[in-house]
Structure 1
Amino acid sequence: MNRIAIIDDSDINLVLLKALVAKLGDCEAVLFQESPKGLAWCSENLPDLIIVDYMMPDLDGLEFITRLRKIPDRQELPVLMITANDDKDVRYRALGIGATDFLTKPVDRMEFSARVRNLLALNTSRRHLADRASWLAEEVAKATAAVHAGEQELLYRMSRAAEFRDPETGMHIQRMAHFSHLIAAELALPLADQKLILQAAPMHDVGKIGIPDAILLKPGKLTPEEFAIMKGHAKLGFELLDGSESTVL
Structure 2
Amino acid sequence: MSRSFKNARILIIDDEEQNVEVLRRILMRAGYSRVETTTDSRDAAALYVQLRPDLILLDLHMPHLDGVGVMEQLSEIAEATYLPILILSADVTPEARREALSHGAKDFVNKPFQQDEILLRIKTLLETRFLYLKIQSQNQILEVKVRERTRALEEAQIEIIERLAMAAEFRDDNTGQHTQRVGQMSALLARQLGLPDTQVTLIRRASPLHDVGKIGIPDTILLKLGKLTPAEFEIVKGHTAIGARILSGGKFPLLRLAEEIAFNHHERWDGFGYGAIRGDDIPLAGRIVAVADVFDALTQQRPYKPAWPVGEAIAEIDRQRGHQFDVAMVDAFLRVIEQQPAEQPEENGDWPRRPFARY
User: Structure 1 pair 74/87, CA: closer, same or farther in 2 (3 Å)?
Assistant: farther
TM-score (norm 1): 0.94
Higher helix content, 1 or 2: 1
Q: 2: CA distance between counterparts of 1:198 and 1:6?
A: 58
Matched, 1:91 2:133: no
Matched, 1:156 2:158: no
Q: 1: CA distance between counterparts of 2:160 and 2:128?
A: 48
Between 65-74 and 210-219, report the one with greater CA deviation.
65-74
1:43 aligns with 49
User: Structure 1 pair 157/129, CA: closer, same or farther in 2 (3 Å)?
Assistant: same
Q: 2: CA distance between counterparts of 1:7 and 1:185?
A: 56
Kept in 2: contact 1:180–1:197 (CA 8 A): yes
Aligned-residue Cα RMSD (Å) equals 1.6
Q: 2: CA distance between counterparts of 1:160 and 1:127?
A: 49
Q: 2: CA distance between counterparts of 1:149 and 1:113?
A: 54
- Please, which of 192, 216, 230 is the counterpart of residue 198 of structure 2? 192
**Identity in percent:** 39
TM-score (norm 2): 0.66
Q: 1: CA distance between counterparts of 2:182 and 2:43?
A: 63
Kept in 1: contact 2:169–2:178 (CA 8 A): no
1:212 aligns with 218
Q: 2: CA distance between counterparts of 1:26 and 1:12?
A: 19
Deviation at 1:58? 1.3
Deviation at 1:243? 1.5
Q: 1: CA distance between counterparts of 2:158 and 2:32?
A: 53
Deviation sequence 1:103-147 (CA, Å, 0-9, x none): 211121011111000011010011001101111110110110011
Matched, 1:68 2:80: no
**Which ranges of structure 1 fall in alignment gaps of 5 or more residues?**
none
Q: 1: CA distance between counterparts of 2:193 and 2:69?
A: 51
**Which ranges of structure 2 fall in alignment gaps of 5 or more residues?**
1-6, 256-359
User: Structure 1 pair 150/76, CA: closer, same or farther in 2 (3 Å)?
Assistant: same
2:345 aligns with none
Deviation at 1:62? 0.9
User: Structure 1 pair 74/22, CA: closer, same or farther in 2 (3 Å)?
Assistant: farther
Deviation at 1:179? 2.3
2:304 aligns with none
Deviation at 1:175? 1.9
**How many residues are treated as equivalent by the alignment?**
249
